[in-house]
Amino acid sequence: MENKKLAALTFDDGPNTDTTPLVLEMLKKYNIPATFFLIGNNINEHSAAVAASAVQQGCELENHSLSHPAMSDMDVDAIRAEIAATDEKITAICGRTPEFFRPPYIAVAPHMYDCIDKTFICGVGADDWDPKVTVGERVERILAQVGDGTIILLHDMSGNTQTVSALDEIIPAMQGDGYEFVTVSELFKRKGKTPVRGEMYSIVK
Active-site positions?
A: 12, 155
Q: What are phi and psi of 146, to 5 degrees?
A: -75, 150
- The alpha carbon torsion through 193, 196, 202, 205 (nearest 10 deg) reads -20
List, in sequence order, every beta strand (DSSP E) within the chain.
5-12, 35-38, 60-63, 100-101, 119-121, 124-125, 150-155, 179-181, 200-201
- Contact yes or no for 12/193 (Cβ under 8 A): no
How many Cβ atoms sit within 10 Å of the Cβ of residue 139? 19
Contact 6, 184 (CB under 8 A): no
Q: Which of 111, 190, 104, 94 is nearest to 148 (CA)?
A: 190
Nearest alpha carbon to residue 13 among 157, 130, 203? 157
Residues contacting residue 28 through CB under 8 Å, at least 6 positions apart:
57
